[in-house]
């Protein structure tokens, strides 16, 4: 069975500070991996996707970047957080069906 | 761009009754997924359909790519069915695996 782990569970950060969110997926080899973001009260938006190690495609520009250093790992980061980065971040893995991780709640103050 | 119109936005059901949620698509989609939001805000997979219908317990989903819609039927609703349900569709071209989400349906089952 496929399991997706995200870290941290939640974070409160200052504007201008760096951010790194992690996601690992176990149980599937070479899955497509995705980062989603949902602002409070907003719709879930796909941010990035990756079909293989080292290859990441951006879907929505939010002054964030993503990397896939390993087959089972997907990292979302930025060097300078904005207030608008607050929200709920979901990582998803896919082999036909997309399965979502538990999410990370981020509050930028 | 691709749009997914989900309805209704909210639904109240008495225990034991049933109803349906619907998603209409503005373009041809090649697959649809239905999710339910858990208590933490993450999404639990209910169904993945590339065509036809699937059933799981008291839930049943249908997808018609040509007619551009999908439905999720809840029968014999129970209190634990309360929650927010989302459809998400995968388009036929463009980004691999790009899911476009509906805005969700808040389902409340009342005794």
List all residues of chain A from 20 to 39 with a beta carbon under 8 Å from chain B: 32, 34, 38
Query: What are the chain B neighbours of A90 within 8 Å (beta carbons)?
Result: 42-43
To probe the interface with A, which of B33, B43, B63, B85 has the most A CB atoms within 10 Å?
B43
Q: Is A73 on the interface with B (CB under 8 A)?
A: no
- What pLDDT shows up at residue B9? 95
Q: Give the pLDDT score at B41.
A: 83
Write the secondary structure of B58-90 as one string of H (helix), E (strand) and C (coil).
CEEEEEECCCCEEEEEECCCCHHHCEEEEEEEE
Residue A94: the pLDDT is 83
pLDDT surpasses 60 at B28 = yes
The tally of CA atoms less than 13 A away on the side-chain side of residue A22 is 8
Please list the helix, strand and coil fractions of chain B in percent, rounded to the nearest 5, in that order: 5, 60, 35
How many CB pairs below 8 Å do chains A and B form together?
Answer: 49
- Report chain A residues whose CB lies below 8 A from the CB of B2: none
Q: Using a CB–CB cutoff of 8 Å, tell me whether A7 touches chain B.
A: no
**Structure confidence at residue B92 as a pLDDT band (50, 70, 90):** low
Question: How much is the pLDDT for B104?
Answer: 93
Phi, psi of B95 (to 5 degrees): -65, 135
A49 in B contact zone (CB under 8 Å): yes
Q: Which value, in Å, is the radius of gyration of the alpha carbons in chain A?
A: 13
Residue A23 makes CB contacts below 8 A (sequence gap 6+) with: A4, A5, A6, A33, A35, A73, A74, A75, A76, A91, A101
For chain B, the average pLDDT equals: 91
Query: B19-37 in b/e burial notation, b at 16+ Cβ within 10 A?
Result: bbbbbbbeeebebbbbbbb
Point out the least confidently predicted range of A73-77, B46-50, B83-87, B90-94. Answer: B90-94
Say if residue A97's pLDDT is above 90.
Answer: no
Query: Token pair of B102, please?
Result: 């509906």
Mean pLDDT calculated for residue range B75-101: 84
* A57 CB within 8 Å of a chain B CB: yes
- CB-CB: which of B35, B44, B95 is closest to A57? B95
pLDDT tens profile B38-75: 888 888 989 999 999 999 999 999 999 999 999 999 99
pLDDT greater than 70 at residue A21: yes
For residue B97, pLDDT beyond 70: no
CA distance B69 to B64: 6
B45 touches chain A (CB under 8 A): yes
Copy the structure tokens of residue A49: 């996707």
Mean model confidence pLDDT for chain A: 91
Provide the pairing of β-strand A10-13 with B4-7: unpaired
DSSP secondary structure code for residue A85 in this structure: G
**Reported confidence tier of residue B88, pLDDT bands at 50, 70, 90:** very high
- In tens, the pLDDT along A36-63 reads 999 887 888 889 989 899 999 888 878 9
**What pLDDT, on a 0 to 100 scale, did the predictor assign at position B38?**
84
The pLDDT value given to residue B96: 58
């Amino acid at each position: 069975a496929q399991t997706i782990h995200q870290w941290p569970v939640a974070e409160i950060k200052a504007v201008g500070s760096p951010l790194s969110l992690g996601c690992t997926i176990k149980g599937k080899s070479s899955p497509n991996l995705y980062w989603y973001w949902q602002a409070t009260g907003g719709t879930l938006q796909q941010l990035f996707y990756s079909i293989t190690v080292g290859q990441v495609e951006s879907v929505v520009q939010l002054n964030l970047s993503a990397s896939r250093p390993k087959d089972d790992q997907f990292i979302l980061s930025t060097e300078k957080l904005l207030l608008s980065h607050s929200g709920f971040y979901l990582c998803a893995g896919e082999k036909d069906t997309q399965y979502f991780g538990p999410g990370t709640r981020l509050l930028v103050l | 761009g691709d749009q997914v119109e989900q309805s209704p936005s909210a639904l109240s059901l008495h225990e034991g009754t049933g109803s349906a949620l619907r998603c209409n698509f503005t373009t041809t989609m090649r697959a649809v997924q239905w999710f339910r939001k858990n208590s933490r805000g993450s999404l639990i997979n209910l169904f993945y359909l590339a065509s036809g219908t699937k059933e799981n317990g008291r839930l049943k989903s249908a997808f018609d790519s040509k007619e551009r819609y999908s439905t999720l039927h809840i029968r014999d609703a129970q209190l634990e069915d309360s929650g927010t349900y989302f459809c998400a569709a995968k388009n036929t071209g463009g980004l691999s695996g790009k899911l476009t989400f509906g805005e969700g349906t808040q389902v409340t089952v009342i005794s």
